[in-house]
Amino acid sequence: MARRKRSAADFFPKSISLSRLRAAAEDCRGCDLYKNATQTVFGEGRARAPLMLVGEVPGDKEDREGHPFVGPAGTLLRKALEQAGISLKDVYLTNAVKHFKYIWRGKRRIHQKPKRTEIVACRPWLQEEIELVRPELVVALGSTAAQTLLGASFRLTKHRGEVMGSDLAPRVMATIHPSAILRAPDERARHQAMADFVADLKRVRAELRGRRSP
Ligand code: URA
Ligand code: SF4
Protein backbone atom coordinates (compact mmCIF):
# COMPACT_ATOMS: atom_id res chain seq x y z
CA MET A 1 0.00 0.00 0.00
CA ALA A 2 1.22 3.49 -0.78
CA ARG A 3 2.48 5.39 2.21
CA ARG A 4 -0.10 7.85 3.47
CA LYS A 5 0.86 11.45 2.88
CA ARG A 6 2.11 13.50 5.79
CA SER A 7 -0.66 15.57 7.39
CA ALA A 8 -1.77 17.11 10.65
CA ALA A 9 -3.42 13.79 11.63
CA ASP A 10 0.09 12.45 12.40
CA PHE A 11 0.13 14.81 15.38
CA PHE A 12 -3.22 14.00 17.00
CA PRO A 13 -3.26 12.99 20.66
CA LYS A 14 -4.59 9.49 21.44
CA SER A 15 -7.73 10.51 23.28
CA ILE A 16 -9.20 13.69 21.98
CA SER A 17 -10.68 16.76 23.65
CA LEU A 18 -10.55 20.30 22.34
CA SER A 19 -7.84 21.33 24.81
CA ARG A 20 -5.70 18.27 24.04
CA LEU A 21 -6.19 18.87 20.35
CA ARG A 22 -5.06 22.48 20.76
CA ALA A 23 -2.00 21.41 22.73
CA ALA A 24 -1.09 18.77 20.14
CA ALA A 25 -1.42 21.29 17.30
CA GLU A 26 1.34 23.36 18.89
CA ASP A 27 3.83 20.74 17.69
CA CYS A 28 2.29 20.09 14.28
CA ARG A 29 4.73 19.59 11.43
CA GLY A 30 2.08 18.40 8.98
CA CYS A 31 3.35 20.77 6.27
CA ASP A 32 6.19 23.29 6.00
CA LEU A 33 4.31 26.36 7.18
CA TYR A 34 5.34 25.91 10.82
CA LYS A 35 8.95 26.68 9.85
CA ASN A 36 8.56 30.42 9.32
CA ALA A 37 5.63 31.10 11.66
CA THR A 38 5.84 32.09 15.32
CA GLN A 39 3.25 29.63 16.60
CA THR A 40 0.19 27.57 15.76
CA VAL A 41 -2.98 29.65 15.89
CA PHE A 42 -5.70 27.20 16.86
CA GLY A 43 -9.43 27.78 16.99
CA GLU A 44 -11.03 29.41 20.03
CA GLY A 45 -14.44 29.96 21.52
CA ARG A 46 -17.28 28.12 23.17
CA ALA A 47 -16.75 24.36 23.33
CA ARG A 48 -20.23 23.51 22.08
CA ALA A 49 -20.87 26.61 20.03
CA PRO A 50 -23.89 26.52 17.71
CA LEU A 51 -21.91 28.48 15.14
CA MET A 52 -18.40 27.86 13.82
CA LEU A 53 -16.73 30.50 11.67
CA VAL A 54 -13.81 29.37 9.54
CA GLY A 55 -11.31 31.88 8.12
CA GLU A 56 -8.39 31.24 5.82
CA VAL A 57 -5.10 31.52 7.67
CA PRO A 58 -3.87 33.61 10.62
CA GLY A 59 -2.44 37.01 9.76
CA ASP A 60 0.58 38.90 11.09
CA LYS A 61 -1.03 39.93 14.38
CA GLU A 62 -2.63 36.52 14.93
CA ASP A 63 0.77 34.91 14.42
CA ARG A 64 2.42 37.15 17.01
CA GLU A 65 -0.38 36.90 19.57
CA GLY A 66 -1.46 33.29 19.03
CA HIS A 67 -5.19 33.96 18.69
CA PRO A 68 -7.45 33.92 15.62
CA PHE A 69 -8.96 37.10 14.20
CA VAL A 70 -7.29 39.63 16.50
CA GLY A 71 -6.06 41.85 13.62
CA PRO A 72 -7.91 44.29 11.32
CA ALA A 73 -10.04 41.60 9.62
CA GLY A 74 -11.05 40.33 13.06
CA THR A 75 -12.08 43.80 14.20
CA LEU A 76 -14.33 44.08 11.16
CA LEU A 77 -15.71 40.59 11.72
CA ARG A 78 -16.66 41.41 15.33
CA LYS A 79 -18.35 44.61 14.19
CA ALA A 80 -20.35 42.73 11.54
CA LEU A 81 -21.36 40.00 14.00
CA GLU A 82 -22.57 42.64 16.42
CA GLN A 83 -24.59 44.38 13.69
CA ALA A 84 -26.14 41.03 12.76
CA GLY A 85 -27.09 40.34 16.37
CA ILE A 86 -24.79 37.35 16.78
CA SER A 87 -23.11 37.08 20.16
CA LEU A 88 -19.47 36.01 20.28
CA LYS A 89 -20.49 33.69 23.11
CA ASP A 90 -22.22 31.51 20.51
CA VAL A 91 -19.24 31.36 18.20
CA TYR A 92 -16.20 29.13 17.78
CA LEU A 93 -13.65 30.89 15.57
CA THR A 94 -11.01 29.07 13.61
CA ASN A 95 -9.08 28.94 10.34
CA ALA A 96 -8.65 26.45 7.50
CA VAL A 97 -4.87 26.65 7.95
CA LYS A 98 -3.31 27.15 11.37
CA HIS A 99 0.08 28.72 10.61
CA PHE A 100 0.72 32.20 9.16
CA LYS A 101 2.01 32.18 5.59
CA TYR A 102 3.80 35.30 4.35
CA ILE A 103 6.57 36.87 2.34
CA TRP A 104 8.77 39.73 3.47
CA ARG A 105 8.27 43.06 1.72
CA GLY A 106 10.77 45.44 3.24
CA LYS A 107 10.11 45.21 6.96
CA ARG A 108 6.53 43.96 6.54
CA ARG A 109 5.28 40.41 6.45
CA ILE A 110 2.70 40.14 3.69
CA HIS A 111 0.01 37.47 3.90
CA GLN A 112 0.12 34.72 1.27
CA LYS A 113 -2.68 32.42 0.22
CA PRO A 114 -1.99 28.86 1.36
CA LYS A 115 -1.46 26.28 -1.37
CA ARG A 116 -3.86 23.42 -1.95
CA THR A 117 -1.36 20.93 -0.46
CA GLU A 118 -1.09 23.00 2.72
CA ILE A 119 -4.86 23.26 3.01
CA VAL A 120 -5.23 19.50 2.61
CA ALA A 121 -2.43 18.83 5.10
CA CYS A 122 -4.04 21.07 7.71
CA ARG A 123 -7.64 19.95 7.20
CA PRO A 124 -7.58 17.16 9.84
CA TRP A 125 -7.40 19.81 12.58
CA LEU A 126 -10.51 21.51 11.24
CA GLN A 127 -12.26 18.20 10.78
CA GLU A 128 -11.60 17.31 14.41
CA GLU A 129 -12.63 20.75 15.66
CA ILE A 130 -15.96 20.30 13.87
CA GLU A 131 -16.42 16.83 15.37
CA LEU A 132 -15.77 18.06 18.89
CA VAL A 133 -17.66 21.35 18.76
CA ARG A 134 -20.56 19.92 16.71
CA PRO A 135 -21.87 23.29 15.54
CA GLU A 136 -25.33 23.55 14.03
CA LEU A 137 -23.86 25.59 11.21
CA VAL A 138 -20.35 26.11 9.89
CA VAL A 139 -19.75 29.38 8.05
CA ALA A 140 -16.84 29.58 5.65
CA LEU A 141 -15.37 33.08 5.39
CA GLY A 142 -13.99 33.47 1.87
CA SER A 143 -13.23 31.00 -0.87
CA THR A 144 -10.25 29.28 0.75
CA ALA A 145 -12.37 28.18 3.71
CA ALA A 146 -15.30 27.43 1.41
CA GLN A 147 -13.21 25.21 -0.86
CA THR A 148 -11.68 23.48 2.16
CA LEU A 149 -15.16 22.58 3.37
CA LEU A 150 -17.07 22.20 0.12
CA GLY A 151 -14.47 21.07 -2.39
CA ALA A 152 -12.07 22.75 -4.82
CA SER A 153 -14.75 23.34 -7.43
CA PHE A 154 -16.92 25.42 -5.06
CA ARG A 155 -17.56 28.94 -6.39
CA LEU A 156 -18.47 31.66 -3.93
CA THR A 157 -19.94 33.80 -6.70
CA LYS A 158 -22.48 31.05 -7.42
CA HIS A 159 -23.33 29.65 -3.99
CA ARG A 160 -22.76 32.45 -1.52
CA GLY A 161 -25.32 32.27 1.31
CA GLU A 162 -26.64 28.77 0.49
CA VAL A 163 -26.72 26.10 3.19
CA MET A 164 -24.94 23.06 1.77
CA GLY A 165 -23.80 19.67 2.99
CA SER A 166 -20.13 18.67 3.14
CA ASP A 167 -18.21 15.59 4.29
CA LEU A 168 -16.88 17.66 7.17
CA ALA A 169 -20.21 19.06 8.39
CA PRO A 170 -23.87 18.58 7.54
CA ARG A 171 -24.59 22.29 7.19
CA VAL A 172 -22.13 24.75 5.72
CA MET A 173 -22.72 28.26 4.41
CA ALA A 174 -20.12 30.37 2.63
CA THR A 175 -19.80 34.13 2.56
CA ILE A 176 -16.98 36.57 1.86
CA HIS A 177 -13.88 37.00 3.98
CA PRO A 178 -13.94 40.23 6.04
CA SER A 179 -10.56 41.21 4.54
CA ALA A 180 -12.34 41.59 1.18
CA ILE A 181 -14.20 44.52 2.78
CA LEU A 182 -10.88 46.06 3.81
CA ARG A 183 -9.66 45.76 0.22
CA ALA A 184 -12.69 47.49 -1.32
CA PRO A 185 -11.49 50.21 -3.75
CA ASP A 186 -13.44 53.12 -2.25
CA GLU A 187 -15.65 54.13 0.63
CA ARG A 188 -18.88 53.41 -1.22
CA ALA A 189 -17.80 49.90 -2.23
CA ARG A 190 -16.60 49.25 1.29
CA HIS A 191 -19.93 50.31 2.71
CA GLN A 192 -21.81 48.07 0.29
CA ALA A 193 -19.55 45.08 0.96
CA MET A 194 -20.04 45.50 4.70
CA ALA A 195 -23.83 45.75 4.30
CA ASP A 196 -23.88 42.56 2.18
CA PHE A 197 -21.69 40.74 4.72
CA VAL A 198 -23.96 41.78 7.60
CA ALA A 199 -26.99 40.63 5.56
CA ASP A 200 -25.37 37.19 5.15
CA LEU A 201 -24.68 37.03 8.88
CA LYS A 202 -28.30 37.91 9.61
CA ARG A 203 -29.28 34.94 7.47
CA VAL A 204 -26.86 32.85 9.52
CA ARG A 205 -28.56 34.02 12.68
CA ALA A 206 -31.99 33.17 11.29
CA GLU A 207 -30.74 29.69 10.35
CA LEU A 208 -29.60 29.10 13.91
CA ARG A 209 -32.82 30.37 15.40
CA GLY A 210 -34.82 28.31 12.94
CA ARG A 211 -33.09 25.15 14.09
CA ARG A 212 -33.50 25.87 17.77
CA SER A 213 -37.26 26.41 17.76
CA PRO A 214 -39.32 23.23 18.35
N1 URA B 1 -7.75 36.26 8.47
C2 URA B 1 -8.10 34.97 8.65
O3 URA B 1 -8.54 34.29 7.74
N4 URA B 1 -7.96 34.45 9.85
C5 URA B 1 -7.49 35.12 10.90
O6 URA B 1 -7.39 34.56 11.97
C7 URA B 1 -7.13 36.48 10.68
C8 URA B 1 -7.26 37.02 9.46
FE1 SF4 C 1 0.38 21.58 10.75
FE2 SF4 C 1 -1.45 23.10 9.62
FE3 SF4 C 1 0.71 24.21 10.63
FE4 SF4 C 1 0.88 22.79 8.42
S5 SF4 C 1 -0.26 24.74 8.70
S6 SF4 C 1 2.25 22.66 10.17
S7 SF4 C 1 -0.61 21.17 8.81
S8 SF4 C 1 -0.88 23.16 11.79
Q: How far is it, in rounded angstroms, from Cα 78 to Cα 134?
A: 22
Length of the chain: 214
pTM assigned to the model: 0.93
For residue 102, report the distance from its CA to the centre of ligand 1, in Å: 13
Instruction: Identify how many contiguous H helices and E strands the chain contains and give both numbers.
Output: 8, 8
| Residue 39 beta carbon below 6 angstroms from any ligand 2 atom | no
Q: Quick one: which atom of ligand 2 is closest to the CA of 57? A: 5
Ligand 2 pocket, 30 CB below 6 A?
yes
Answer whether 121 contacts ligand 2 (Cβ < 6 A): yes
Q: How far is the CA of 206 from the centre of ligand 2 (A)?
A: 34
Q: What is the pLDDT of residue 212?
A: 53
Angle at CA of residue 175, ends 135 and 196, nearest 5°: 125
Distance 77 CA to ligand 1 centre (A): 10
Q: Judge contact between 97 and 57, C-beta under 8 A.
A: yes
pLDDT tens digits for range 101-142: 999 999 999 999 999 999 999 999 999 999 999 999 999 999
